A = this chain, B = another copy of it.
Amino acid sequence: MPSNALRTLATCLVTVAALVLLGPSTTRADEGMWTFDNPPIEKLEKEYDFKPSQEWLDHLRLAAVRFNNGGSGSFVSGSGLVMTNHHVGFDCIQKLSSAEKDYVKQGFIAQSFDDEASCPDLELNVLMSMTDVTGRVQKATKGAKDEVEARKEEIARIEKECNDETGLRCNVITLYGGGQYMIYRYRKHTDVRLVFAPEQQIAFFGGDFDNFTYPRHDLDVALFRIYEKGKPFEPEHYLKWSKSGARDGELVFVVGNPGYSGRQLTVSQLEFLRDTQYPLRVEFYTSLLGELETYASLGKEQRRQSKKLIFALQNALKAYGGFLKGLQDEDLMAGKAKQEEEIKKAVKKDKKLKKEAESVWTDIAKAQKQHKKIAAARLVSGFRGSELYEIAENIVRLTAEKEKPNEKRLKEYRDTNIESLELQLFSDAPIYRDMEEVVIRVSLEEALRRLGKNDMLVMAALGSEKPADVAARVAQKTALVDPEKRRELVKGGRKAVEKSKDPLIKLALVLDPITRKLRKKYEKKVEGVEEKAGGIISKAWFAAYGKSIPPDATFTLRLAYGTVKGYEAEGTNVPWKTTFYGLYDRYHSFGGKQPYNLPATWKKKKDKFKMATPLDFVSTNDIIGGNSGSPVVNEAGEVVGLVFDGNIESLVWRFVYTDEKERCVSVHSSAIKRALYDVYDASHIGWELGRKGPKDAGEKKSKKKKSKKKKKSKKS
């Protein structure tokens, strides 16, 4: 054994340089967020001596659930119990909460089916099947006058046909940046109820500081139940629970919906992100976060209201920090440039491809220049973080689009998507006018600052008023906080909307033509160019590195495989798992100060469970934002963990995969079970995990406990 002393010579520099030496990312062992129609069977056989059957794959796919608000989940009982992260369920938990009953703070435990609380606007999807439609899409665009329009229309037609035929939610998915088109058919669930959520303090222990880091000590889990026609839904496929949970060195799989990765982006696209897009967003989000923190400091209720958005912004900022760190690394960019040269060389060897690809890299580079011109306007006109503005814009556009034939509409207003859209639009989740005022003001101020007072959009939005005045007026006076008013407007159609005196509707109306123009410009000069070129570039990738490359992430279902294993950092070993001991160490070593305080239950119950129980663990599975809530399963398809994060090093996975220090971070399945049994006295829920249903359906053990308790409290 050579001494490990020399290993300490490895530095940040060396690590990143190593990325480059590894050559094209496609050669790395555990890389890949694979589609279920192209699973890495050969690689798994070769590298892990494991051959998944079609049955095994179908089972995982059908037990997986997509949270449409941006996360993943899975069926973990035959009675429709769905497991995800607390931070994925956060949206619903917050919407169910009020100043009086703050489930975010106190946690939530349903003692019976009746206790389970309906989420106002949560939609879950299950991927039932998929078919390649590349030929049809390409045929429709070939020789068309306006290729972008022709593609959009054909996609709309395919979705509509599928939707009519199957009744499922049908979406055409663009893979390989335009190299492949697939139709994905989803079963939709909208009656989703909260079953269990721990206190956010333990779900997000260490807060923004510990977010994207490891060693970690979070119980980032929440359980929901899907209902159909008022009864617990009984899925054909659900995941069993592993007895031991994840073990060191074990082959494990992550099934979920990674949101977005840019591993196949060209150098000019990466430069645009590095120099324009990310810095813009970081600045904007930092302003917004600052204002929200001021708002939160006004009082307890304001803090409660703004918690979700503050979390989202901090999370995004930390992620962008990591992405930028990657892109600002000269070695990483040099590696990407070298890779691009290799691909171009491979192209030159293929006569047909050579001709086809002649101008694609310069086309994409030109598109970036176009994008740069409109990036700031697109950002500020989105009123990011404002639920009210999103509602107003949706009402304005939905009523207008509905008058057009399906395939001519903006894609979110096509028939196949309207139901999901209306679930959001008519949600009775609470909206906080004061916080909305802050969020709208920030966008208006940023618009004025970035675009100048003579910009069309700014003039339209502000007129002669100041941003603060417009924000106050629209946020405080709009009637859209009431879902009934929204229904009325949508029912009244375009004419009713155009006649509306609602100040926020009026703002959305005046901005609509400007933002539509901006969108059109983006779709034609940027997205359209990238998608067309992307199709050719993906062929070039295949030419250079063979056919077995998984596509970049697209918030659709993927399978990632990897090994449970620790790594080396800061001069020493980072263990593959943490334990409850580590949680209490961190609590005490910061003197219990926020964000390292523990909920009262955890302080009280500390002698009630085995401290050595694994809490979180790491593995090399290739994941990215959107994978939050994905189950981690073993070869038997049993749950051994629950993905909730990547470590700080893994942020570079956005562009390059390596597994030296980069890791996927999960809650260990044992921690979930032990917490339910020993900390939360929720054995009725713990028992159900991985089983057909609760112990005595409807009549649960703990229900009795509860009534006993009630009796007790009456006595005392």
A248 within 8 A of B: yes
Q: Which of A572-614 contact B (CB under 8 A)?
A: 572-573, 575-579, 581-582, 584-586, 588-591, 611-612
What is the CA–CA distance of A313 and B2 in the complex, to the nearest angstrom?
12
What is the CA–CA distance of A321 and B325 in the complex, to the nearest angstrom?
25
Do A318 and B588 form a contact, CB below 8 Å, given A2-B290, A313-B3?
no
A107 within 8 A of B: no
Chain A: number of interface residues, binned into ranges? 35 or more
Within the oligomer, what is the number of copies of this chain? 2
Binds B, one of A4-12, A73-81, A348-356, A446-454: A4-12
What is the CA–CA distance of A318 and B6 in the complex, to the nearest angstrom?
6
Contact of A571 with B4 in the complex, beta carbons under 8 Å: no
What is the CA–CA distance of A572 and B314 in the complex, to the nearest angstrom?
13
Of B212, B589, B612, which contacts A571 at CB under 8 A? Answer: B212
What is the CA–CA distance of A691 and B414 in the complex, to the nearest angstrom?
83
What is the CA–CA distance of A1 and B573 in the complex, to the nearest angstrom?
33
- Closest residue of chain B to A595 (Cβ to Cβ) is B573
Q: Which residues of B contact A591 (CB under 8 A)?
A: 248
Q: Which of A1-56 contact B (CB under 8 A)?
A: 1-9, 11-13
Q: Which residues of B contact A588 (CB under 8 A)?
A: 579, 581, 611-612
Contact of A321 with B5 in the complex, beta carbons under 8 Å: yes
- Closest residue of chain B to A248 (Cβ to Cβ) is B591
Of B209, B578, B648, which contacts A4 at CB under 8 A? Answer: B209
Contact of A8 with B321 in the complex, beta carbons under 8 Å: yes
Q: Which residues of B contact A578 (CB under 8 A)?
A: 585, 589
15 contacts between A and B (CB under 8 A): A2-B286, A3-B286, A3-B313, A4-B209, A5-B208, A5-B318, A6-B282, A6-B286, A206-B572, A210-B573, A571-B648, A577-B589, A578-B589, A581-B585, A581-B588
Contact of A584 with B612 in the complex, beta carbons under 8 Å: yes
Contact of A572 with B209 in the complex, beta carbons under 8 Å: yes
What is the CA–CA distance of A212 and B4 in the complex, to the nearest angstrom?
13
A632 within 8 A of B: no
Extra pairs beyond A9-B324, A582-B585 (5, CB < 8 Å): A4-B209, A5-B321, A209-B573, A581-B581, A584-B612
A293 within 8 A of B: yes
Q: Which residues of B contact A636 (CB under 8 A)?
A: none
Do A3 and B581 form a contact, CB below 8 Å, given A572-B206, A590-B573?
no
Q: Mark A272-300, 1 if CB is under 8 A from B, else 0.
A: 00000000001000100110010000000
Separation in Å of the A234 CB from the closest CB of chain B? 39
Q: Which residues of B contact A248 (CB under 8 A)?
A: 591
Of B282, B570, B582, which contacts A570 at CB under 8 A? Answer: B570
Separation in Å of the A324 CB from the closest CB of chain B? 6
A256 within 8 A of B: no
Contact of B3 with A570 in the complex, beta carbons under 8 Å: no
A569 within 8 A of B: yes
Q: Which residues of B contact A3 (CB under 8 A)?
A: 208, 286, 289-290, 293, 313-314, 317
Contact of A9 with B325 in the complex, beta carbons under 8 Å: yes
